[in-house]
Amino acid sequence: MKSGFIEKFGSIGAFLTALACPACFPLLAVASAALGFGVFQPLEGIFKIFVFIALIGNILAYLKHRKALPLTFGVIGSFLIFFANRQCATCKPKDGKT
């Protein structure tokens, strides 16, 4: 399996699952719902899996091409997504509702 395919599959999957989550892109929430991406909302938990697949694709592409800049951006972006997801998971609303 080619690294380019893995990277594109992970990137497209992460983008589609992020579109299904209105908290990720509030400005696109209305457009996503109008286009029918709301049906994927129960699957927004697989967002991290697609980000991880895209990261694996970046690493495989680096091993093939030896270009550090795309790998650096991929690792930093993946880290920020996982960090933000972790921070949001530990947040609780001020009104006490979960």
| Interval 25-49: pLDDT, tens | 676 677 777 777 667 667 667 778 8
pLDDT of residue 1: 53
Supply the pLDDT for residue 33.
Answer: 73
Q: What pLDDT does residue 69 have?
A: 93
> Two tokens at 62?
């680096």
Longest distance between any two alpha carbons in the chain, whole Å: 51
User: Are residues 10 and 16 in contact, defined by beta-carbon separation less than 8 angstroms?
Assistant: no
Q: Write down the pTM of the prediction.
A: 0.62
* Stretches in the chain below the pLDDT threshold 50: none
**Which tokens sit at 89?**
């998971």
Q: Which two tokens stand for residue 16?
A: 């589609």
Distances (CA, A) of 49 to 53, 67, 68, 82: 6, 24, 23, 10
